[in-house]
Amino acid sequence: MPIVVDADRPAQGPDVAERIHRSATSDRPFRYTLRAVAALFGAVVVLFAWSIVKTAWPAIRTYGFHLVTGSTWVAGGGPYGALPLIVDTLSTTCIALLFAIPVGLATALSLQFIVPQRLRAPSASLVELLAAVPSVVYGLWGIAVMVPFFIKTLEPFLSHVTGGHWPFSGPQQGFSILLAGVVLAIMILPTIVAVSRDVLATVPTDLIEGALSLGATRSQVLLRVVLPSARTGILGAIALGTGRALGETIAVAMVIGSNAQIPHSLFSSGATLASVIAVEFGNSVGTEGGALAALALMLMIITGAVNFGARALTRRAGAHA
């Protein structure tokens, strides 16, 4: 293509140089805006964390370490010992993981490797639909559908089969850490499935084909090749689910029975860190607000640590792919 020289126009030398200079400098407002808004969000998050520490401070100063280790929590006047709440939080989360890990991994493996290609997308969106149901609807479902089912069918059955031995002993009231754990399992399932599917998709095809060519069966490939090589990412998925289970509030508050005690059995009612804040914060008086803020602080630290670990694990899995 010939170079067209527009002879009618005057040379633009100095003008162009100036414009380049201007464009290089006048983009500062843009970058400053980006930084300012990013800093604003960072500041709000810091303010958020700080406000919880500040609100909790009077209670921390008054009760000290007893807030964590004390074994009785009485709403209204104290004493404020969070040990039962911590135990209940951990036990509901463990029950949830006990159900959600095997079912979630089986679901992820089926969706990725077993279900026929045509059915994959629809079945995946069905599982993802579980995540679209709001927490409070699971709570309502828990109260109206699961509690009667637990009282009439499941709890008598379990206690009959096991002869009423621990942990299937105690009064059968429906509202229990077992029900809370089951509801939590349903709620964290989509998280575990979605993240582990992403990780399973990164397992190199060479590995799978290599194992198949050596004569391994499909189940051997899945259990001995695919799962081990996706180990880190799956741990990350489980950790993410754990973080959700620890912090889930409304659904648990509605089905756990709101009774701050160390559970005697799976049928015991209980109360978790998050559920106590939800139920009691509204009518807290005096020092209880501070004690509840201290629970919020504990929850923030625990879920923060778990999510940080989950992030590191999923990152590492992604980097290896």
Partner 1 sequence: MTSIIADLPPDPILERRQQIQSLASRSIGRRSLVSKTVLISLVVGLVIAVIPLVTVIAALIGKGARFIGWQFLTGLPHLPSLVHLNDVGGIRNAIVATLVIDLLAGLAAIPVGVIVGLYLASTASRTSNALRTIVEMMIGMPSILLGVFAYEYLVTRMKSYSGLAAIVALSILMVPVIAKAAELAFRSVPTNLREAALALGARESRVARKVVIPTALPGVITGVLLAFARAVGETAPILLVVGPTVSTIFNSNPMHPMTPLPLLIYGYSFSEYPSQRAAAWGVALTLVFIVVALTTASRFISTRMRRERRS
Site for partner 1 in 223-262 (CB under 8 A): 223, 240, 243-244, 246-250, 254
Is residue 60 involved in binding partner 1 (CB under 8 A)?
A: no
Q: Write out the E strands in the chain.
A: none
Q: Which of 69, 71, 72, 125 binds partner 1 (CB under 8 A)?
A: 125
Beta bridge partners of 80: 73
Q: Which of 60, 83, 135, 173 binds partner 1 (CB under 8 A)?
A: 135
CB of 43 to partner 1, least distance (A): 11
277-296 residues near partner 1, rule: CB under 8 A: 277-278, 281-282, 292-293, 296
140-179 residues near partner 1, rule: CB under 8 A: 140-141, 143-145
198-217 residues near partner 1, rule: CB under 8 A: 217
Is residue 313 involved in binding partner 1 (CB under 8 A)?
A: no
| Residue whose entry in the numeric block shows the structure tokens 């190199």 | 204
Rounded to whole angstroms, what are the CA distances from 255 to 147, 150, 178, 299?
8, 11, 10, 20
71-100 residues near partner 1, rule: CB under 8 A: none
CB of 163 to partner 1, least distance (A): 26
d(CA 157, CA 177): 17
Is residue 44 involved in binding partner 1 (CB under 8 A)?
A: yes
List, as one string, the DSSP characters of 265-291. Answer: STT-----HHHHHHHHGGG--TTHHHH
List of residues 6+ apart from 96 with CB closer than 8 A: 181, 182, 184, 185, 187, 188, 241, 245
Rounded to whole angstroms, what are the CA distances from 43 to 37, 39, 259?
10, 6, 37
Q: Assess contact for 267 and 40: CB atoms under 8 A.
A: no
Is residue 34 involved in binding partner 1 (CB under 8 A)?
A: yes
Is residue 105 involved in binding partner 1 (CB under 8 A)?
A: yes
Q: Which is nearer to partner 1, 170 or 232 (CB)?
A: 232
Q: Which is nearer to partner 1, 35 or 160 (CB)?
A: 35
Q: Assess contact for 275 and 258: CB atoms under 8 A.
A: yes
CB of 192 to partner 1, least distance (A): 10
Size of the site for partner 1 (CB under 8 A): 88
